[in-house]
Amino acid sequence: MKRTQVAVIGAGQAGLSAAYHLVRMGFPRYDGVVVLDRNPAPGGAWQHRWDSLTMHDVHGIANLPGVDVPPSAGVERANAFVPQYFADYETRFELPVVRPVIVESVRHNGELFELTTDQGEYEAEAIVNATGTWNRPFIPWYPGIETFQGRQLHTADYNGAGEFAGRHVLVVGGGASAVQLLAEISEVATTPWVTRRPPEWRTPGEEFGPEIGRQIIAKVDERVRAGLPPKSVVAVTGLQLREQEQAAYRKGVYTRLPMFSRITPDGVEWADGRAEHVDAILWATGFRADLAHLAPLHLREPSGGIRMDGTHTVLEPRVHLIGYGPSASTIGGNRAGFQAARQLRDLLQPVAA
């Protein structure tokens, strides 16, 4: 049984930020703070994203505390550029990351938390959970989904538009990923688009400034303080076409269809009897928070969410969720990492190194 004061679960942006601040605030590496990361290499979820996603597409990422993101020409693959930045960061600050370690469950063990992993047991006085969403892609159930004989995949499985050349690909979902992938895939395939609700487009040229950002955070924070599941960012911000998607817009790629009512072996059908053959269904339907390992702690409310007060859960103040709810962004993850570290320093007092 390995013992530490604070176990950080996940080494993405939020997890690295928390580890950096915990070390800076006096928690000794490994005995005071350890980071358990399920990935085989640095980079968090970024290492798993599709090759065609460039730094231009993601508009860069927020700086990790203490080191700016290196200059980017924009053409670099995000799944290589960001992991290299994270790897260099871990090395520079000698962060106590252990990988690959899959945390299977966290439960109370007296005054401590017991973490069961695929690499043995850990005990900790507090938990900082930074597992994000990548490992919980969401595909909604529709009648007949199991009968479809074509290909079904989630954006988490997407490897590039080339595999769909000449095909008829149904894209499902109203988020930013759907908008981006529609532009890519429509260059080599036909791409009908369906969403549950009409997409809400932001006004062209509207600046996404600090005030809008504060409004978004306030709305998401209101939900998690009430114990409700956080909504997607797009549900609050709306959609906006980027420069590289304007050509697709002019071609009519973003003509949206209402949601179908059932899936057939060779396509989909609507409630009015209309049917359409498709070769593949791409579910751009988002992700859910990866929190199943925390289930033994019984943190969820009847509404399905986890009631939060800042970064810590209301039912267990020694469990912090960062990169969750209002901190589910690179900037938000950084801030939450600092906030969680400061609160745990005051609560636990770091042991002498």
Instruction: Give 337-352 pLDDT, tens digit per residue.
Output: 999 999 999 999 887 6
Q: What is the Cα Rg of the chain in Å? A: 21
CB atoms inside a 10 Å sphere around CB 276: 16
Strands 275-277 and 267-269, sheet pairing: antiparallel
Residue 290: exposed, middle, or buried by beta-carbon count in 10 A (0-12, 13-18, 19+)?
buried
CA 342 to chain centre: 24
pTM for this entry: 0.90
In three-state secondary structure terms, 192 is: coil
- Region at 98 (left for phi over 0; alpha for psi -120 to 50; beta for the rest): beta
For residue 75, the 8-state DSSP code is -
Using CA atoms, how far apart are residues 19 and 142, in angstroms rounded to an integer?
Answer: 42
Using CA atoms, how far apart are residues 19 and 47, in angstroms rounded to an integer?
Answer: 20
pLDDT of residue 279: 98
Helix 13-24, helix 330-348: angle, nearest 10:
30
CB atoms inside a 10 Å sphere around CB 166: 8
% of the chain beyond a pLDDT of 70:
90
Q: pLDDT tens digits for 297-318?
A: 999 999 889 999 999 999 999 9
Which whole number is the average pLDDT over 96-116? 97
Of residues 30 and 206, which shows the higher confidence score?
A: 30
pLDDT of residue 213: 55
Residue 64 has pLDDT above 80, yes or no: yes
Using CA atoms, how far apart are residues 7 and 124, in angstroms rounded to an integer?
Answer: 6
Q: Please count the helices (runs of H) and the strands (runs of E) in the chain.
A: 8, 17
For residue 68, the 8-state DSSP code is P
Residue 51 has pLDDT above 80, yes or no: yes
In three-state secondary structure terms, 98 is: strand
pLDDT of residue 311: 93
pLDDT of residue 209: 54
pLDDT of residue 58: 85
For the stretch 256-270, what's the b/e string if a residue is b when 16 or more beta carbons lie within 10 angstroms of its beta carbon? Answer: eeebbeebbeebbbe
Strands 267-269 and 262-264, sheet pairing: antiparallel
CB atoms inside a 10 Å sphere around CB 199: 16
Nearest by Cα to 121 from 28, 3, 292: 3
Whole-angstrom CA distances from 230 to 115, 195, 255 are 26, 20, 28
